[in-house]
Amino acid sequence: MGRSPCCEKAHTNKGAWTKEEDERLIAYIRAHGEGCWRSLPKAAGLLRCGKSCRLRWINYLRPDLKRGNFTEEEEELIIKLHSLLGNKWSLIAGRLPGRTDNEIKNYWNTHIRRKLLSRGIDPTTHRSINEPTSTQKVTTISFAGDSKDDYQDQKINIKAEFVETNKEDKIQEKCLPDLNLELRISPPHHQQNQQLDHHHQRSNSICFTCSLGIQNSKDCSCGKINGNGCSNNIVSMNIIAGYDFIGLKTNGLLDYRTLETK
């Protein structure tokens, strides 16, 4: 038994949207706002499936969309975010105001993929195609969605397993703690930043946990650095000249809308 269809297929239009349909959809959303996509088509007098309306609005009709070519900066940002997040187009789009996940996905598949391949870079792993496999690498980064009522509470679990081969070509588990971070995506939070700025004002060096936006974590080693020294379990890092650990410009905090752990 399959799931019930999202709409009456027999009585819905498919394919390219007409100007009149666009105008109806825009007028309805201006008057009533977004949401309730299932009932919207009928209310707006559209012979369309609710999903189709939502897609049309989000990807094409929304007034805050930035049309036109991607800039160099946007392209670099997409590449960096993709190297970290993989095909999480909606998360990537969240970092690019005015761009949609669909737009970024298309741009990736038509332009960036090809560009990376021509540079000898595997677009999936972001590593050199000819690179030998004997160096340290992250073998898996797995994601587990846990979305809540809004994007502030979207979380991703990143589990990274580091392995490296030794001189005898035997694969060894890297002697690192199993990095199994449950990260939460939330908008930049000025208050948090202020608190953290205060927290770190004595030093430009912050620990890995704090760079991920984890406040007052028991694993925070900043205090230890400044006080009792850094724990061996903590990967400490310096934020240099306002760039985070993947080279994105930052105000001193990692800011994928800011990542924080639960």
Partner DNA sequence: AAATCCTTCAACCGCGCCAAC
Partner DNA sequence: TGTTGGCGCGGTTGAAGGATT
Q: Which residues bind DNA (CB under 7 A)?
A: 2-4, 6, 13-17, 35-39, 48-52, 54-56, 59-60, 87-91, 101-103, 105-107, 109-111, 114, 144-149
CB-wise, 104 or 234, nearer to DNA? 104
Q: Could you tell me the smallest distance in angstroms from the CB atom of residue 144 to DNA?
A: 7
Q: Could you tell me the smallest distance in angstroms from the CB atom of residue 137 to DNA?
A: 21
Distance CA 188, CA 191 (A): 9
CB-wise, 17 or 208, nearer to DNA? 17
What are the φ/ψ torsions at residue 188 (nearest 5 degrees)?
-55, 135
| Burial class for 40, CB neighbours closer than 10 Å (0-12, 13-18, 19+) | buried
Q: Could you tell me the smallest distance in angstroms from the CB atom of residue 23 to DNA?
A: 13
CB-wise, 119 or 148, nearer to DNA? 148
Q: Could you tell me the smallest distance in angstroms from the CB atom of residue 128 to DNA?
A: 22
Distance CA 84, CA 71 (A): 20
Q: Could you tell me the smallest distance in angstroms from the CB atom of residue 86 to DNA?
A: 8
Neighbours of 55 (CB within 10 A): 17
CB-wise, 110 or 201, nearer to DNA? 110
Give the pairing of strands 205-207 and 259-261: unpaired
CB-wise, 51 or 202, nearer to DNA? 51
Distance CA 225, CA 236 (A): 9
